[in-house]
Amino acid sequence: MESQTHRQTWKTFLAFAIIYLVWGSTFLAIRVGVREVPPLILAAMRFLAAGLVLYGWMAARGERSPNQRQWLSALLLAILIFLFDYGLLFWAERRVPSGLAAVMMATIPVFTALAEIVFLRTQKLTVRLALALMLGVGGVAVLTSSSVRLGGAPIDRLGAVALIVGAISWSAASILSRKLPLPESKGMSSGAQMLVGGVLLALAAAARGEFRSFQPAAVSQGAWLALAYLIVAGSIVGFTAYVWLIHRESPTKVGTYAYVNPLVAVVLGYFWGREALGLRTILGTLFILVSVLMVITMKRAKTSVPAPEAKD
């Protein structure tokens, strides 16, 4: 019995390490990949491959394929999550350091809370929540404003706008996913969404003319390894760990990845990506992560909203 408990503890520790470290490191892997591979092509390859593996794995285990209504739901979510959120993230990482991209994407719970206040009316604007929202907006302002004298250049405005639009898109998807008809199996649902998302990203890449300039033979081994890491570790292994945890730990505990991932991304970006880490980055990151922590803990305590969707 003691051996079984010890084994369970070890598995839990490993699963948390995966969603903290692996998901946090995917931002640097994206940065490495988009230096040589057009961003939408890279995103399309990642999610087509991961979607095929996950969908095939679920089908082999006997899970039912989505019906017509569920495929339509998967299409809508794929547009919001993969085409807009991930497409804009991959595109922005050619202009914004990986660590700061992760920090900007950490605003997703803040925008979700705002949507719940304004549109769903499932959350009340308390003093604590108002303070959390102001901290989040303040963090974004610190990172992007040229009028704030904190040393170091503000991040690229266009890249920042793309990341914010992506975060809002993901927030909309997380709200819609609670109401749309989707397969009961999280694995089948995610596999279907990844497949559709990969197709949409490939079509968007073709529309932008990315395939005309893409020369696979010229891509370095490092960029291909980054893509393999995103597919295997970031999507397949990371998602498996997330699903395993969400059935064994509290949503609040599992949801902590939302503010641990940006810290991991900033540290990796500094040490391995040679990205700047000045006062502006530290303060902006601190404001946003405190905001996210306040929003996530309040939502669990007040409204019992499910944990944030997996951001791999």
Residue with tokens 């990506």: 273
- Which is it for the CA torsion 245, 297, 292, 84, positive or negative? positive
In sequence order, what DSSP letters do the residues of 234-275 get, joined into one string? IIIIHHHHHHHHHTTS-HHHHTTHHHHHHHHHHHHHHHTS--
pLDDT of residue 1: 55
Residue with tokens 């350091």: 97
- Could you tell me how many residues make up the chain? 312
- Give yes or no for a contact between 139 and 77, defined as CB atoms under 8 angstroms apart: no
pLDDT of residue 5: 65
In percent, how much of the chain has pLDDT > 70? 92
C-beta atoms surrounding 12 within 10 Å: 16
Looking at per-residue pLDDT, the higher value among 272 and 5 belongs to: 272
pLDDT of residue 45: 98
Please give the radius of gyration of the chain, using alpha carbons only, rounded to the nearest integer.
Answer: 19
- Closest among 196, 214, 233, 280 to 38, alpha carbons compared: 214
C-beta atoms surrounding 194 within 10 Å: 29
pLDDT at 308 over 80: no
Residue ranges covered by each domain of the chain = 2-302
pLDDT at 109 over 90: no
pLDDT band at 176 (very low <50, low <70, confident <90, very high): confident
> pLDDT tens across 188-216, in order?
999 999 999 999 999 999 999 999 989 99
> pLDDT tens across 35-94, in order?
999 999 999 999 999 999 999 999 999 999 999 999 999 999 999 999 999 999 999 999
Report the pLDDT averaged over residues 223-236: 96
Report the pLDDT averaged over residues 125-133: 88
